Structure 1
Amino acid sequence: MNKLFKLVRHLTMSLFAMATLIGTTANAERLLTENFEYELGNLYSQGGWLKYGTQAAGPVQVTNNALTYPDYQDKAVGKAVHLTQVASGEDLMRAVSETAISSGKVYLSALVKVNAVADDQYFLAFIQPTSAGIVDKKTPPENTRLIASKGSVDGKFVFKISRNSATLFESTEEFELGKTYLVVMSYEFKEGTKNDVVQLWVNPAVASTEPKPNAAINSATHTGADMKSFQAIELRQGSSATKVGPEVIVDAIRVGTAWTDLFDVASTEPTMTVTPTVVYDGSAVAIGSSTTFATYAVEYANLENPIDVYLTGANRNQFEVSAETIPAGSGKATITLTYKPQAIGKHTARINFESTVSTLNTGFAATGIAWDPENPPMIVAHSEGLTPFTCKAGEQQKQTITVTTSDLPDYGKAAVKGLSNGAFIISTATLLKNGNTQINITFKPLVPGDYEEVIEFSGIKATTETIRITGTATENGTTEDREGDRLPLDDSKP
């Protein structure tokens, strides 16, 4: 690809990424998935379900009547609960979060089969916590009630919602008794008072986009107070000794803070992940041969255009990719990067995976070492001119040697082995790949004595060279040698 083409494509992808970021928001997470996978019998005390109040008649039962609905729960999972038409029956509640929610929007979805109805009695509700939270056998405020009421003819009923007991009901069309429906209700916290929004959907499309509701409370005509916060859901059986609720099977309850939290819908968002597995161990490779450097497992989805795979870097011509494009759409692919050196040296490159969604693009560095078996690397240390080192302790002596190198794949190394406890040091630890390296060897003893040291010269695929040196340190301030005899003066006789 030429530079102009790459620049144009980079600008295009950047603009596309900006548009994508502006047009999308991050999803929250599902707060509750309740499939009632408990022992048959009383639901109370199983799975965190607590009593709402102290009513004990007609305990809510876990039954083997799990419900199904296309694309929501295709196969029966777990069990269900049975709410009966009992006067002042047992009511249960369950917290869905550790802390109360007081902003944004809360959604609840469930599969519901209404078998019998009375007038305007609710069976599902949202719960506002008290200062003590959600406590067994207490009665925190209810809100956002889902009601089943008689229809215009036998065998029919309607769903209704209310914001609280003082709020007018909003109704849906009529539905059939004994049939399973997917219902969704939501509560949205708004700035101000008595203006929070409650919505209800019946059999909405199981999709990532929130559709228009079947019923909604969103005007000031509903004068009931708003919910201050939300923390739990309630299963309700009647409201008094004379007002019984509907007989209902409830299953597959889900609670979240976004519409998409309720449904296991495959995302249409473009994705691409690349997982490298490096095979190359860093050892030198003979020029003219090849070895696998790494493989890259690519998983991608919802890409409108192919993924380009290409190499950049100063030595990209020393590497090769197994494919230059990955088809658009969704799938998996494996790309192999092969190191095929044609020259001695250390080679670097970068493999790039580029889509039209710039935020997904990624790349990985690659470094290889190559040598020529026909011209093997050589190191020669010219130490012929070295003489034993000697100096006073605390002083120093310096001598210089030359190290000749040829055909090294990378820089060579010089190292003092440490036999002299630091009495010898060298001026550089690096050898040229090709040429002569001047190295100063300094003898710096701190205490008198005899010293011995080994200096090692090494390089990739080269035979290691060593030289052995010695040094003697004399006492600091030792009397200097003089010519003739020393004649001491006798100062006892002036």
Structure 2
Amino acid sequence: MKNITHPISHTAVRRSLLLGALCAGALAAQAQFLFEGFDYPDAAGTHLTNVTASPWVGTAGQTSVLLQDGNLTGGGLTDPVLTHDKRARLTAVNSIHYRTFNDSAIGSGSVYVSFLMQVTTMQTTDNYVSALVCLDNDGGVSTSSGTGSRQARAGLVVYYQRLTATTYRIGVRKNEGSASNGTTAWGTATFAPNQVVLVVAKYTFNPGSGDDTVTLWLNPTTLGGTEDPSPAVAASTTSNTSDSQPLRYVVLVNGSAGNGGGVVELDSIRVGDSWSSVTPSGPLIGQQLGFTVQPFLAGEGQTMRPIEVQVQNASGLPVASNNVPITLTLTSGSGTLSGTVTRNTDAAGRAVFTNLSINLPGQKQLTASASGIGAGLTNAVSIPFWIIKNPDAAPGAGAPVITQAVAAAGSFILRGQNGAPGGEYRILSSTNVTQPMNLWASVFTNNFDGAGAFAWTNPLVPGGPRFFRVQGAGGGGGGGQWSHVGYAAVPAPITGGGNTTNIIWATNLASFIVALSNSQPAIIYIDGTITLRTNGNTYFGPNKTLIGLGTNATLIGNLGIFLTEGSATYNATNIIIRNLTLTNPNGYGEDDCITLKNGGKQVWIDHCTFHSALDGLVDATREADFLTVSWCKFYYTAPNGHENVHLIGGSDSDTADAGKLHVTLHHNWYGTFARERMPSVRFGRAHVFNNYFNSPGNNYCVRTRLHAEVLVENNHFQDVQNPWELIITSGTTGKLRATGNLTNNCAFTTAYPHNTGGTLVLIDGSDTLTPGDPLGLNPPPYAYTLDPAANVANLVTNHAGAGKGPFAY
């Protein structure tokens, strides 16, 4: 039995600290980048991508790599004792599953991989070849399930091939999928079904062009120390004159039964930079600490998921060592680490921290140190992780706050201050403090007193709500209203991922696409900059919340919110997107930043910054519906001939848009070089209120077109041309009603090239919108409070965009 608490990923540089009777210099520095012992607590039959805290990414919808009870043993390796005794079974289904083995790609020296394997069901056809385990180059992993592309661009591929009904052989190939594909080099040994084989392979980066080599060992007899001198396949280019890019991923591959594929089981996958790091032997000596379960995302003041620290040898293998005191300290980022910060290790050398929290948001790191009998073990530093600001509980500077909560006989008294004097406030309540604000119940409404203070007495209800928030209605004078207001919640509450436990921390395109596109509810946090698909849109599945971490999380490309596209079905509804910068300067996909199309609906985009696309920044066409865009900033860094913002309805001929395209735009900032379409509306119903338009040199701001109705309320138009206008083409003439707006240094003119094929008409905004329409604008079908137009510029410029308002860290 093996003893590792969880699969472990390590960085490439390690220091050796020699303990006990081990002499200095007896152990050379080495790096085991990865040990994957499939030590997950989940039941047998669980798909690898669905296990607890899975680091694996798999082809969407596949169930082809399953946990099995029991370990594979053999090969003579020193196996640590694992807790859950599992192995992986690759069933006869076309698939690819991969994970990173190192924080950064390795492009020099050698990269070794070892694993135990046994074929339990032979391939159905003699001479059939299956890829099995690959080392893949940085960014080269494909999630295609097709047999021709799944291991494409892998630097090293280990194959197995059926020879007879009872024998198979194992081989290796370099740089599969490159221009000069080469051939597979086979070992001469043959193996039988259910025979456990230790496979070791090596990719070596050489200085010349096309001279990199791969090497293969099968059941080597020399373990640890120096490399076995008798490989099954000596160093070979496998007739491939093309070298691999730097390596970062380990990939599991199998073929389908229909194509002759068999069933293979794997265990104890190791990746390292030396022979000894992947073929350990001899006793394990504790020399360092390692985080085997890293800190994960958590809310400010909320209990973090359990963190595990392990006593390890210099290669990162766990070492059994009981009662070693391990202490965690917050060494990067502000705040206080609370909970039980010192724990003793168990018999396996593992300390588990279960009740930690940090009170302030932002990016953090923890350091683990040992004391007592563990004094001298090298400290471990965690990966950077985020404590997330609760965007609905922290409405920004100048917002109303609860200052006192007092339980009295038969009542519960809340007091607060910092509201708008005489302005309206609401008390919200919930039994779950982590719920999104749009799910909290409004239990009381009143007005602040002349000093902006309030007091409210609530009867105590046994088992009733015990969490309360105060919200200044409309945002006027109160620093902003961050809960949803608008069309997106008209058909049903807008919840996105809701209260799902499926929380994804996305730092690269592969993990982002898998999380975004599947049908399960998810909350996806974006860390850093991710470039989206360059050959099309990156599509949402339903019920997703997408939130940027910090103040600079960025997506480059085109997000697609569609019900269908061609033969594909996405069912993209109930989507929340917050605190992101989005740009598409290279025109990926449909040249927008976000495209709602083909029935995509019920979308809330909030506190995002958009700039520099080749078409529109957020467009809604072809029966898209129920969109709210709030507290966002829109601009272009330079003119590009197409500086558009919102196209609502793409063509006069899209008559199926009638009765769709309900859009709310409020508290947005339309800035530099935004030329037009803020918005331009066909067929739809657009509510445009409390926005700040400050884009000198523009053509127009708000345009109504055929069959459209637009309500323009309490906006501030500064130094712009045509705050609103009408284009007449065919069909029913669009309507626009403008009330309470502030227009400073604005001009109305028809003397600009408008290229619409219709007639440009200047209007005074006095149209009567259709009364009695349950989804129309006379009145809008939701509650809202208008800020005075005179307050809009200050409110919006201070609180709109990514990293602003509730997301200002």
Instruction: Determine if the TM-score, normalized by the shorter chain, exceeds 0.5.
Output: no
User: Which interval holds the TM-score relative to the shorter structure?
Assistant: 0.3 to 0.5
Please state which structure has a larger fraction of its residues in strand: 1
Normalising to structure 1: TM-score of the pair?
Answer: 0.44
Higher Cα Rg: structure 1 or 2? Answer: 1
Tell me the TM-score normalized by structure 2.
0.28
